[in-house]
């Protein structure tokens, strides 16, 4: 989890640097770009590199964690056939598109160029939201996460470049930048607060949840965000006016630099948050909606390359198992459950309507997910079968 959290945090910092450079040059400080072009270019390149490295390293870590070892051929299959892999490839393409658009591509008409930048950025953020905890909980949760991520990238990116731009002598440009940054900051904070509260309520149920690692990390994040917002208010309403009235710039410069460092802290904590298991309350319910992704939720589960695709197994509360087929073609599957000693156990399938029926074989379409359980609960058991004629055996443990 610690490695995945560090990779996730690097990925967020990469997004902020890449998308933030473009947003700053187009919408926040076009007047400041001339003096800061080199630093913006470096930030853009560093962001793209960090984002690509962290994305592929995360895919390697998730796959290796799931099948126990790194194999190049399996990794290629992982990238091609799993949702997480496909989104990682799409993300790489979008990073290249944003690099090509750079700080403003003079060859395209201004409006078309801006539309291309916003669309590519949102699509890039979508590839991250789609494999987040919220990305597999339905469209409203996915959109909530996307808006949250977009507001975070815009605020942290725009502020970061403003704070560290080497143009603290150009008073007029700094003034107009501060005004635009002020309104972007206010809107971003409102959106982040609303969507953050919504996402928090989706993942946390009841006060007891705050005692879990996920809950306490969320609390830490809210405290850090509150500190940052308080400093943002001081910067906006106490220090920015100093730019207008007198020639003193250092208080605002210091204030915005501190604010940008606090936002990096928020991104680090968010890296941990997105890799911890949220304490959803599924107790006593039928099998929960299956995570239909091979994203970071895979940790602790198994990805079995078998029969021309990958069979993902995700243990669920109550001893149920979610099984997802990731292949280009469908799969003919036969399944049987046995005890650890080899005695037969009766395997049950639950359909969409929640009806349970005994199961021996079935056809799975690409991306299809099914829920399996046992007639008699067992702590540990073996799931055996064949996928497109290739046999497999895997041990399922209730905890």
Residue nearest ligand HEM (C-beta atom): 196
Q: Which is nearer to ligand HEM, 177 or 271 (CB)?
A: 271
203 lies in the site for ligand HEM, by CB under 6 A: yes
Q: Return the residue of 6, 52, 137, 156 that touches ligand HEM, per CB under 6 A.
A: 156
Cα torsion angle, 178, 183, 186, 190, sign: negative
Q: Return the residue of 82, 120, 121, 129 that touches ligand HEM, per CB under 6 A.
A: 129
The footprint of ligand HEM on this chain (CB under 6 A) covers a number of residues equal to 30
Task: Specify the stretch interacting with ligand HEM by CB under 6 A; choose among 163-171, 174-182, 193-201, 309-317.
Answer: 193-201
Q: Return the residue of 22, 84, 141, 145 that touches ligand HEM, per CB under 6 A.
A: 145
163 lies in the site for ligand HEM, by CB under 6 A: no
Task: Specify the stretch interacting with ligand HEM by CB under 6 A; choose among 41-49, 56-64, 132-140, 166-174.
Answer: 132-140
Q: Return the residue of 149, 297, 333, 370 that touches ligand HEM, per CB under 6 A.
A: 149
Contacts with 110 (C-beta within 8 Å, 6 or more apart), sequence order: none
Q: Which is nearer to ligand HEM, 196 or 327 (CB)?
A: 196
278 lies in the site for ligand HEM, by CB under 6 A: yes
178 lies in the site for ligand HEM, by CB under 6 A: no
The burial of 258, by beta-carbon neighbours within 10 Å (0-12 exposed, 13-18 middle, 19 or more buried), is given as middle
Q: Return the residue of 63, 147, 199, 243 that touches ligand HEM, per CB under 6 A.
A: 199
Least Å from the CB of residue 303 to ligand HEM: 21
Cβ(326)–Cβ(309) under 8 Å? yes
308 lies in the site for ligand HEM, by CB under 6 A: no
Q: How far apart are CA 190 and CA 268, in angstroms?
A: 21
196 lies in the site for ligand HEM, by CB under 6 A: yes
Q: Return the residue of 124, 225, 239, 298 that touches ligand HEM, per CB under 6 A.
A: 225
Q: Which is nearer to ligand HEM, 43 or 327 (CB)?
A: 43
Residues that bind ligand HEM (CB under 6 A): 12, 128-129, 132-134, 145, 148-149, 152, 155-156, 192-193, 196-197, 199-200, 203, 218, 221-222, 225, 263, 266-267, 270, 273-274, 278
């Amino acid at each position: 989890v610690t490695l995945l959290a560090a990779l996730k945090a690097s990925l967020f910092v990469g997004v902020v640097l890449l998308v933030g450079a473009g947003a700053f040059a187009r919408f926040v400080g076009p007047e400041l770009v001339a003096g800061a072009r080199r630093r913006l270019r470096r930030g853009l390149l560093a962001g793209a590199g960090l984002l690509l490295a962290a994305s592929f390293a995360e895919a390697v870590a998730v796959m290796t964690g799931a099948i126990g070892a790194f194999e190049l051929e399996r990794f290629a299959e992982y990238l091609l056939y799993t949702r997480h892999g496909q989104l990682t490839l799409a993300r790489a393409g979008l990073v290249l598109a944003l690099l090509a658009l750079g700080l403003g591509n003079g060859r395209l008409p201004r409006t078309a160029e801006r539309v291309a930048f916003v669309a590519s950025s949102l699509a890039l953020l979508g590839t991250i939201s789609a494999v987040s905890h919220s990305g597999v909980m339905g469209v409203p949760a996915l959109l909530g996460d996307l808006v949250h991520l977009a507001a975070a990238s815009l605020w942290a990116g725009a502020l970061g470049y403003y704070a560290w731009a080497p143009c603290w002598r150009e008073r007029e440009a700094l003034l107009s930048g501060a005004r635009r940054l002020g309104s972007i900051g206010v809107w971003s904070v409102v959106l982040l607060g609303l969507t953050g509260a919504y996402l928090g309520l989706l993942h946390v149920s009841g006060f007891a949840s705050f005692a879990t690692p996920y809950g306490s990390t969320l609390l830490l994040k809210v405290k850090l965000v509150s500190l940052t917002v308080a400093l943002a208010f001081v910067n906006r309403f106490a220090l920015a006016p100093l730019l207008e009235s007198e020639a003193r710039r250092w208080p605002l410069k210091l204030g915005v630099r501190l604010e940008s460092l606090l936002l990096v802290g928020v991104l680090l904590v968010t890296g941990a948050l997105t890799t911890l298991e949220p304490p959803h309350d599924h107790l006593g319910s039928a099998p929960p909606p299956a995570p239909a992704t091979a994203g970071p939720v895979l940790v602790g589960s198994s990805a079995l390359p078998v029969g021309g695709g990958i069979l993902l197994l995700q243990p669920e509360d109550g001893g149920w198992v979610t099984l997802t087929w990731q292949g280009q073609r469908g799969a003919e599957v036969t399944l049987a459950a046995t005890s650890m000693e080899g005695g037969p156990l009766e395997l049950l399938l639950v359909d969409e309507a929640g009806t349970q029926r005994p199961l021996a074989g079935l056809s799975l379409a690409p991306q299809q997910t099914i829920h399996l359980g046992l007639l008699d609960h067992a702590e540990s058991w073996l799931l055996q079968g064949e996928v497109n004629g290739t046999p497999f055996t895997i041990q399922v443990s209730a905890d």
